[in-house]
Amino acid sequence: MGNDRWHFDGGGYSRIVEPMGVRLMTAVWDDIRRVFQLQSEHKWAAKTSSLSERQDKLSRLRSEIVARANDIQAALSADLAKPGRTPYAPEVESMLTAIDDAVAHLEDWARPLNVEPSPNLLRTAPTVEYEARGVCLIFGPWNLPFQLLLEPLVPAIAAGNTAILHPNELTPQTAKITAEIIRAVFDERHVAIFDGHVDIANKLLELPVDHIFFTGSPRIGKIVMAAAAKNLATVTLELGGKCPVIIDGTHDAVESASLVAVGRHANAGQLCLATDHAWVKRDHLPAFLDHYNAWIDNKLYRDDELDDTAMSHIVDEHNLNRILSYIDDARARGAEIVRGGHRATRVADMIEPTIILDAPHDAQVMTEEIFGPVLPVQTFDDIGEVLHYLHGRPKPLAMYIFSDDPAFVDTVIANTSSGGVTVNGFATHIAESRLPFGGVNHSGSGRYHGIHGFHEFSNQRAIVRHLPAPALAPGDKAATAV
C-alpha cells in the first residue's frame, strides 16, 4: 500500500494527491518507525500506569484545550468556516465533556468484574479485568477534525494505551493546532501525531500496531480493515451511511420538519449522522415542505441572501462539485428540484439548501452519502414501502423516526437495522454518553463513548484464581480438591 494514492475522507470519494518526494518520505518514514519503536517499548509502562496518572494526563489535555480554545475556533473557521459559539466551539465543548466524563468515572470503568463461579468451580474467583490493547493508531476525518480525532484518544488514554494520531490533510489549520496541543501535553512515547500528506497515512497503516480506530467513509474503511488484517490488529470503524428519516405525520409538524432541517444543515450536512433522506407520509408532504422551508428561511438567510456565517462551508472544490453532480444527476433523471439546486451566488464554497422530490431510487442522491445541504424527499402511503426499500440498502449509522404512534415506531425498529435510532429528535442517541455509539456492517464496527469507549480500547481479560482449600478441623478427612 506504500505507493497507493488514496485519501481518508469523511464522505464517499477518493481524491488523487501527488505523492511526497522520495527523500522527504524516507525521512518521515524513519521518524514514524522511531516513534513506533518508542511506543512499543513504552506501552508496558502505560499499561501499568495508575488510574490517577491517566486522569492527570486527561486533565492536562483538558487544560491545554481550554487555553487554546480561541485558536481551535479560528482553525475550524479557516478550514470549514464553522460558525463560532460562546464560550467554546461545539467541537471543543464535546471534547471537554468527554474528558470530564472519563476523569469522573474511570475508577468505576476500570474496576474488575467479579463473576459468580460455576457450581463445579466453587473454590475459584473468576474475574474480568481490563487491560490496555497496546499501541493504538487513530485516524481522524475532516468534517469534525478536532473532535473526532481527539475524542477516541480519551478512552485510549483512560484504558492505558499509547497512541499515534493522524489528522486529515483537508483541514490543515485544525491539524496544526491539534498537533501543537498534543505535543504540549504528551511525550511522544505516549502520544504522537503525524500530520500532513496522505502518504503518511499509508505508511502508518503498515505499522504492526495493536488497534486501529478509523473515522471516515465505508470505502476507505475497507482499506483500513484490510491493512489491519495483515497484522491481526483489532479495529474500530466509525463510518458513514445514508441515515433515513421516516415521518408518519402524527408528531408535531413544525418540530419534525425543523429537526430534520437541523440534521441536514448542521456543518452544511457534512456529518455522518446527517438526516440523509426523508420518507414522508404522502398526505403530510405539503406541511413538511412548508415548515422545512420556513426553518431554512429563518435560520440560514439574511435579507433574502444565504448567510455565509450561519452555516459551514463545503470543505473543498472537489466536494462541492461532487454534490452539484448529484443534484444534476437527479434533475436529469426526472426528479423535481423543489428548492435550491445550485452553488450559492455570493459565496463560492457554499451550496444553496436544496430539496429534491421523488428522485429515482438509483439516482446518486439516493445511493451515495451526500455530505452536503441537500435533502432528497420520498413519499409513502404504507410503511411497507419504506421497509422494502431499506431492506435492499446497507445498514445506516443512524435512523430517525418522527411519530407519536408507538406501534408505528416499534414496527420500524423491529424491521430495520442501524447503528442507533432517535425517535422524535436528531442524534440524541449520540448525545447520551451512557449509550454505545457506532455503526453496523457497512456503517462501522465497534462502539465507543463513555464506558463503551473504555471497553473498546481494552482487552477484556478472563482471569481465574484458585482459592486455597479451607482448613480442616481435627479428625476431618481431606476432601477431593475441585
- What are 344-393's pLDDT values in tens digits? 988 889 999 999 999 999 999 999 999 999 999 999 999 999 999 999 99
**The pLDDT of residue 328 is above 50:** yes
15 has pLDDT over 80: no
Tell me: do 207 and 351 sit in the same domain: no
Q: Is residue 328 part of a domain?
A: yes
C-alpha cell at 454: 473504555
Question: What's the mean per-residue pLDDT of the chain?
Answer: 92
- 475 domain residue, yes or no: no
Catalytic residue list contains 131: no
Residue 25 confidence (pLDDT): 73
DSSP 3-state assignment of 15? Answer: coil
Mean pLDDT calculated for residue range 176-186? 98
CA distance 182 to 190: 10
Both 310 and 364 in a single domain? Answer: yes
**Residue 414 pLDDT more than 90?**
yes
- Read off the pLDDT of each residue in 108-131 and give the average, rounded to a whole number: 96
CATH number where 135 lies: 3.40.605.10
72 and 122 part of one domain: yes
Cα→Cα distances 284→250, 375, 381, 407, 454, Å: 9, 16, 10, 19, 44
Q: Give 10's pLDDT tier (boundaries 50, 70, 90).
A: very low
pLDDT at 277: 98
Pairing assessment for the beta strands 191-193 and 234-238 based on DSSP bridges: unpaired
**Is 5 within the bounds of a domain?**
no
Q: Are residues 68 and 205 in the same domain?
A: yes
The answer as to whether 472 is a domain residue is no
User: Is the pLDDT confidence value at 62 over 70?
Assistant: yes
Kindly state whether residue 437 falls inside one of the protein's structural domains.
no
User: Would residue 16 count as lying in a domain?
Assistant: no
pLDDT at 431 over 80: yes
Residue 478: pLDDT band by 50, 70, 90 thresholds? low
Residue 287 has pLDDT above 70, yes or no: yes
pLDDT at 347: 87
Residue 9, pLDDT > 90, answer no
Q: Let me know whether 258 and 398 are in one domain.
A: yes
b (16+ CB within 10 A) / e for 426-436: bbebbeebeeb
Whether 272 is catalytic: yes
User: What CATH number should be reported for the domain holding residue 302?
Assistant: 3.40.309.10
pTM: 0.91
Q: What are the φ/ψ torsions at residue 301 (nearest 5 degrees)?
A: -120, 150
Give the separation between CA 479 and CA 100, rounded to whole angstroms: 52
pLDDT of residue 470: 81
Which residue carries 435550491 as its cell?
A: 340
Mark whether 311 and 412 lie in a shared domain. Answer: yes
Residue 3 belongs to a domain: no
Per-residue model confidence (pLDDT) at position 435: 95
Q: What is the C-alpha to C-alpha distance for residues 338 and 321, in angstroms, rounded to an integer?
A: 20
Which among 132, 135, 131 is positioned nearest to 208, based on CA atoms?
A: 135
Catalytic residue, from 243, 272, 352, 369: name it.
272
* Residue 223 in domain: yes
137 and 36 in a common domain: yes
At residue 278 the predicted structure's pLDDT band, cuts being 50, 70 and 90, is very high
Same domain, 152 and 255: no
Q: Which domain holds residue 185?
A: 22-239+444-464
pLDDT of residue 330: 97
Task: Return d(Cα 468, Cα 315) in angstroms, integer.
Answer: 64
Shared-domain flag, residues 188 and 204: yes
Give the pLDDT mean for 403-428: 98
What local confidence, expressed as pLDDT, does residue 272 receive? 94
Higher pLDDT, 20 or 372: 372
254's enclosing H/E stretch is helix 253-265
Q: Are 312 and 270 in contact (CB under 8 A)?
A: yes
* Closest to 57 (Cα-Cα) out of 204, 210, 163, 168: 163
Residues 257 and 399 both lie in one domain? yes
Total number of domains constituting the chain: 2
Residue pair 88/96 in contact by the 8 Å Cβ criterion:
yes
Is 166 in contact with 138 (CB distance < 8 Å)? yes
Mean pLDDT of 7-36: 65
- Exposed, middle or buried by CB within 10 Å (0-12, 13-18, 19+), for 186? buried
State mean pLDDT over 239-257.
Answer: 96
Co-location of 266 and 136 in the same domain: no
pLDDT > 70 fraction of the chain, expressed in percent and rounded? 92
Confidence of residue 27 (pLDDT cuts 50, 70, 90): confident
Place of cell 459559539: 85
Same domain, 317 and 203: no
Catalytic residue of the set 238, 352, 368, 456? 238
Position 227 pLDDT exceeds 70: yes
Q: What is the pLDDT of residues 249-269, one digit of tens each?
A: 999 999 999 999 999 999 999
